[in-house]
Chain A
Amino acid sequence: MTDLNKVGPSCTWKDLTEGMMIYEGGTSRQFKTGEWASIKPEYIESKCIHCLLCTPVCPDSAIPVKDMKRCAFDYDHCKGCGICVKACRFGAIVMEGVNK
């Protein structure tokens, strides 16, 4: 069993897991893919009725929900695809370059 705590940007080849396998769940949270995006959607809270149509269409999990209310974007993981902009029927999400 490989100790995943040894795996990091400065570890040696001997510290890697066999075949680069990951023996833990939910580790993609630690990988901040949000930096891939050049533009991001913007959440206009005043227009949001919390219908939650946007949350399930997000290809990542960048629209968190708490107590049946959507929360602010998780920009650490939002890649700026703009699909949520298309899903929102109330103009509560806007993004440069994405037309409704």
Chain B
Amino acid sequence: MARRDRLSGNEAVAEALRQIDPDVMPAFPITPSTEIPQYFSKFCANGQVHTEFIPVESEHSAMSAAIGAESAGARTVSATSSAGMAYMWEELYLASANRLPLVLALVNRALSGPININCDHSDSMGARDAGWIQIYAETNQEAYDNMVMAYRIAEAEGVHLPVMVCQDGFITSHAVQNILLMEDKEVKEFVGEYNPEHSLLDPNGVMSVGPYSITNYYMEARRAQAEALHNAKAVVKAVGEEFGRLTGRSYGWFEEYCMEDAEYAIVLIGSAAGTAKDAVDKLRAEGKKVGLIKIRMFRPFPGAEIAEALKNVKAVGLMDRTESFNDCAGPIGAEVSSALFRARHMCETINYVYGLGGRDVRVEDIEKVFEDLFDAAENGTADYYRYLGVRE
């Protein structure tokens, strides 16, 4: 039986973690993710979980300790944001290369500078090639659900990769929404026990972690790791469907909203999808054939499937909540465009940078995007890379 509650996104993730009861949580506070270890350490102090909480001295140490704990065979979680994740940089790559199924609750926040504590995706998008599985949430409910599913994905046979469970700083992390929580027993049964085949604390096995790989092996090692990320794709879908059978909330790689007959669409990630759905509803009421694709799983990237979902559109707006500083395209812009080209679908594309440093994205902003798309489909456009909601 599901329980109704009102929780912020951070509370929801901490609640999921209480129900999962991981073995180890090393964490260091940074806004806006601070509340996750804060709430969770209260559960530790109250004896509601068995987790060993390690108050480390930095995020570099948090991810190092997480790697050590996970190598030792402990189910491990950490939480961070922005500069905190930037300080984990070196270790992020080790966690994935060592094939450690740990989980990071990432509350998306802009990278400095100028220093800013509010939401954009520059932190996780910067780490998009770190070999992690990345899953994003639109709502508090999705942040909770994604955390419940995370270990099933990370620990799956053939995957064994770390998962970044992302949600938008302040917008979902601190805003309170109605939410449906699973029973503790349901979560524990769904997540299951963690029994790794190899671990450093296994008295019957000898093991060296992270040995040097010379040139003769490094490339094969990377190829093997790429296969694990490829395997994650089917697992994310299967776990999302199983979760759906249990809760009624099914998840895939991305959500299609009003896409059946859409001729104009936008592709985006995270909480702005809620606002964009309102804009889609408004334009649909006016008879406009508009739709939306919300990417849930950005790594591995479901490019072919997104291109297939866009095959009937005349123009598509690719929405990046980060500036990539390449004078060309943002991550969603580049990767969806690439997927469209591979699928030989030559619709008009416009790549927007929006919502940086917590800048509001409003229904009117998304309507403006669709107006641009109507015009581009009619007249074409040479202006591919644009800013939305910036003062000119």
A residues apposed to B, CB below 8 Å? 1, 9, 11-14, 16, 18-25, 27
Contacts and interface: CB of A to CB of B under 8 A. Distances in A.
Given A16-B221, A20-B97, A22-B207, 10 more contacts: A12-B220, A13-B219, A13-B224, A14-B224, A18-B99, A19-B100, A19-B209, A21-B207, A23-B207, A25-B206
Contacts of B50: none
A27 B99 CA distance: 21
Contact of B208 (A1, A12, A14, A22): A22
A20 B223 contact: no
Contact of A16 (B205, B206, B209, B224): B224
B206 A18 contact: no
Interface in B208-230: 208-211, 213, 216-217, 219-221, 223-225, 227
B317 to A, nearest CB: 39
B383 interface: no
Interface residues of B, number: 24
21 contacts: A9-B216, A12-B220, A13-B224, A13-B227, A16-B217, A16-B221, A16-B224, A18-B160, A19-B99, A20-B210, A20-B211, A20-B217, A20-B221, A21-B99, A21-B198, A21-B207, A21-B209, A21-B211, A22-B207, A22-B208, A25-B206
A24 B205 CA distance: 8
B223 A13 contact: yes
B111 to A, nearest CB: 29
Contacts of B99: 18-19, 21
Contact of A23 (B100, B205, B210, B220): B205
B286 interface: no
Contacts of B160: 18-19
Nearest to B100: A19
A11 B206 contact: no
B193 interface: no
A15 B217 CA distance: 11
B198 A23 contact: yes
A23 B206 contact: yes
Interface string B182-206: 0000000000000001100000011
Contacts of B217: 16, 20
B34 interface: no
A59 to B, nearest CB: 16
A87 B225 CA distance: 45
Nearest to B216: A9
B98 interface: yes
Nearest to A25: B206
B175 to A, nearest CB: 38
B71 to A, nearest CB: 9
Contacts of A13: 219-221, 223-224, 227
Nearest to B223: A13
Nearest to A7: B217
Which one of A9, A23, A24 has the highest number of Cβ atoms from chain B below 10 Å of its Cβ?
Answer: A23
A61 B324 CA distance: 50
A23 B200 CA distance: 10
Contacts of A22: 207-208, 211
Contact of B220 (A1, A11, A27): A11
Nearest to A22: B208
B198 to A, nearest CB: 6
Contacts of A12: 220
A42 B283 CA distance: 85
Which one of A9, A11, A19, A20 has the highest number of Cβ atoms from chain B below 10 Å of its Cβ?
Answer: A19
Nearest to A26: B206
A21 B208 contact: yes
